[in-house]
Amino acid sequence: MATHGRMSNLVTVVPSENEALSGIGRDQKALPGKPAGGMDFYRILLVDGHPIVRLGLKTALEAHKEFRVLGEASTRDQAIGLAGELQPDIVIFDLSYAGRRSGLELARAIRSRWPRQKLFVLSGRAYEFDVRCMMDAGVDGFLLKDALPAHIVDALKTIMTGNQVLSSTIRSVLREERAGTSPYDRMTTRQLEILRRLAEGQVNEEIADALGVTVKAVQIHLTSIYEKLGARTRTEAVVFAAQRGIVALTD
């Protein structure tokens, strides 16, 4: 597996509504990497489709004086807007919102526009496709939602020092990929993207429009995907990929 660009040290942490809300203004500054007393704190943007999850995270984080939640969002577009407006130190986000896997698009948008903002994934699932894409997008941390609050707090402090934090599960997925035991080794990035869109229920015409290619090109890729997965139909390909954790079936 290729080395993922901007990341430095790897630190393992072993974890056992549609409204954008904002509270604290941009004039209240934090000192990234070195929060002290008074008004010095890490500024956080929470992005999750479930209000109860955001509430729980906010409560857990603001129990520590080093953290302050600036705003909350439940969709990708809301999150991008608040990331630009509030300029948080850390964006904590899930992989998908409203049944769509928009976390990758969010990560790419923030990384390209505001590269100093730290990207921290907190998700309930760790499919191989998601892990690989998030590593390629340059996330600073990736934990699962079963992580203890104390581990999340420690992880956030760690990424502010310039280190990357991954859960043991994420590390296991990456080790499997490096060892060459992953189905990824047999597919191109474009084929993986097409497979992901198949899992979302898109037809060939929709995939072609989304990727800016012809329907014929999609069909050629599908033939190759079937051969590499040992599948005969698109349904078999999606089921096989889901069983291996390559893609996630939409809810």
Q: What is the pLDDT of residues 92-125, one digit of tens each?
A: 999 877 556 678 889 999 999 999 999 999 998 7
Q: What is the pLDDT of residue 160?
A: 94
Q: What domains can you pick out in the chain, each with its CATH number?
A: 10-177 (3.40.50.2300), 183-243 (1.10.10.10)
Of 4-8, 222-226, 234-238, least confident by mean pLDDT is 4-8
Q: Tens digit of pLDDT for each residue in 148-164?
A: 999 999 999 999 999 99
The answer to whether 141 and 166 have CB atoms below 8 angstroms apart is yes
| Amino acid 162: pLDDT | 92
What is the DSSP-derived secondary structure letter of residue 3?
-
DSSP for residue 127? -
Mean pLDDT is highest, among 15-29, 84-98, 230-244, for: 84-98
- pLDDT confidence bin for 79, thresholds 50/70/90: very high
Q: CB-hemisphere CA count at 13 Å for 216?
A: 0
Structure pTM? 0.66
Backbone region of residue 66 per phi and psi (left: phi > 0; alpha: psi in -120 to 50; beta: other values): alpha
Cross-strand bridge partners of residue 199:
none
Q: Which residues pair with 45 in a beta bridge?
A: 71, 91
Which helix (H) or strand (E) segment holds residue 141: the answer is: strand 141-144
* C-beta pairs of 64-68 under 8 Å, 24+ apart in sequence: 64/153, 65/35, 65/37, 65/41, 66/35, 66/41, 66/42, 66/157, 67/41, 67/42, 67/153, 67/156, 68/24, 68/28, 68/30, 68/41, 68/42, 68/43, 68/44
pLDDT at 83: 97
Side chain identity at residue 243, one-letter code: Q
Model confidence over 178-208: pLDDT tens digits? Answer: 655 555 567 788 888 898 888 888 999 999 9
- pLDDT tier, 33 (very low <50, low <70, confident <90, very high otherwise): low
pLDDT at 1: 38
Q: Which pLDDT score, from 0 to 100, does residue 100 have?
A: 62
How many angstroms separate the first and last alpha carbons of the chain?
A: 30
